[in-house]
């Protein structure tokens, strides 16, 4: 049961990154691909019907984490308190910038909220990547199962590392570039004309920036976290996830060149899914490794709910997950197609 719930949490987190990832990516490119107010409204309209629904998956993943692995929830939310508060404020700023932008007819008002939307999106992408870097690298877990991390110390990924070091920052920058491509491909899928062409150009150019970054973090991750290599040696079938990620990454460039918008976006989804599943596979059965004493790592068995609770929870989880999935499919099908902006409104 703990392994099953580990997989369920991983799937929901991956789903959130894929779905809300293109929302964040749309915010990142918002200011430099849209050249006028109509094009900025088109970018917002491309995510307008779905962005808030996409964020539900983050709440669902957090709730599932709290239920299935309460020890991890308590430890990580305590140790990453400052970073989590920053992420919370960034999510709030993104939400209100989307909602407040059109409440006042003023160029200054629109520009202000456009800048908030773009800035919060950039910082969110970096913080999410940095968070993943901390999980892969490990944290200094004490004997009681808790830890504390300063925002930064000496910028080295050792036992005394803070949340920010050169390794976690490199993953944060990689996440920023990956979500920029992801968002550009989504906006290209939903728009037409010059805006679409600029989005495709952004995705194509940033692909060549992302390539060396992915190779860099792949090599350094195996060096910094030996558990990754050990896990793939023990479970060689897990190499399917890096292969899936690589195929999606190559598919992005291939389909952009062929002007196949949907295929390019789905390839980006495949790349992100394979990357996150590779990280989860490499860390299993650890949920949060210790970068000091390995025996203090939080594993699926040491921090999980009792088996009875996990079994009962599964009966509630399945219909709830099916309902949320059905709603998401309905919304995406209902609002499928290109967005078209009128001169004086959506």
Put simply, whether the predicted model's pTM sits higher than 0.75 gets the answer yes
Count of structural domains, the chain: 1
d(C-alpha 292, C-alpha 34), whole Å:
47
Position 298 in a domain? yes
Position 49 in a domain? yes
Provide the token pair at 47. 């995510």
Provide the token pair at 30. 């918002």
Predicted pLDDT at 150: 79
Position 263 in a domain? no
Position 231 in a domain? no
Digit-coded pLDDT (tens) for 14-56: 999 999 999 999 999 999 898 888 889 999 999 988 888 888 8
Digit-coded pLDDT (tens) for 235-290: 889 899 999 999 999 999 999 999 899 999 999 999 999 999 999 999 998 899 98
Residue 243 neighbours by CB under 8 Å, 6+ apart: 274
346 falls in which pLDDT band (50, 70, 90)?
Answer: very low
Predicted pLDDT at 246: 95
d(C-alpha 321, C-alpha 316), whole Å:
9
Position 122 in a domain? yes
Residue 88 belongs to what domain range?
Answer: 2-195+285-334
Position 96 in a domain? yes
d(C-alpha 86, C-alpha 88), whole Å:
5
Cβ atoms of 187 and 33 within 8 Å: the answer is yes
d(C-alpha 50, C-alpha 251), whole Å:
25
Position 258 in a domain? no
Position 44 in a domain? yes
342 falls in which pLDDT band (50, 70, 90)?
Answer: low
Choose among 339, 15, 25, 32: nearest CA to 182. 25
Provide the token pair at 128. 């999410």
């Amino acid at each position: 049961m703990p392994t099953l719930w580990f997989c369920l949490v991983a799937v929901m987190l991956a789903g959130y990154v894929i779905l809300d990832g293109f929302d964040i990516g749309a915010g990142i490119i918002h200011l430099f691909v849209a050249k006028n107010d109509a094009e900025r409204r088109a970018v917002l309209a491309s995510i307008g019907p779905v962005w808030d629904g996409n964020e539900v998956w983050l709440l669902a993943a957090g709730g599932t984490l709290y239920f299935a692995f309460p020890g991890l929830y308590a430890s990580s939310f305590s140790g990453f308190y400052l970073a989590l508060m920053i992420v919370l404020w960034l999510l709030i700023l993104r939400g209100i910038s989307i909602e407040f932008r059109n409440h006042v007819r003023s160029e200054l008002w629109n520009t202000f909220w456009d800048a908030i939307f773009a800035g919060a999106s950039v910082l969110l992408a970096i913080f999410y990547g940095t968070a993943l870097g901390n999980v892969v690298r490990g944290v200094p877990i004490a004997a009681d199962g808790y830890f504390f991390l300063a925002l930064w110390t000496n910028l080295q990924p050792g036992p005394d590392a803070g949340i920010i070091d050169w390794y976690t920052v490199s993953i944060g920058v990689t996440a920023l570039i990956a979500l920029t491509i992801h968002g550009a491909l989504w906006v290209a899928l939903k728009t037409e004309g010059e805006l679409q062409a600029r989005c495709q150009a952004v995705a194509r150019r940033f692909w060549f920036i992302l390539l060396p970054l992915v190779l860099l973090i792949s090599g350094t991750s195996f060096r910094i976290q030996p558990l990754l290599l050990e896990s793939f040696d023990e479970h060689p079938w897990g190499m399917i996830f890096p292969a899936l990620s690589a195929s999606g990454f190559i598919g992005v460039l291939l389909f952009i060149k062929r002007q196949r918008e949907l295929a390019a976006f789905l390839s980006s989804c495949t790349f992100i899914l394979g990357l996150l599943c590779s990280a989860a596979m490499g860390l299993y059965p650890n949920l949060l490794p210790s970068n000091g004493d390995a025996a203090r790592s939080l594993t699926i068995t040491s921090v999980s709910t009792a088996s009875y609770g996990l079994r009962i929870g599964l009966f509630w989880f399945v219909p709830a997950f099916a309902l949320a999935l059905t709603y998401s499919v309905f919304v995406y099908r209902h609002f499928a197609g290109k967005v078209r902006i009128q001169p004086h409104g959506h």
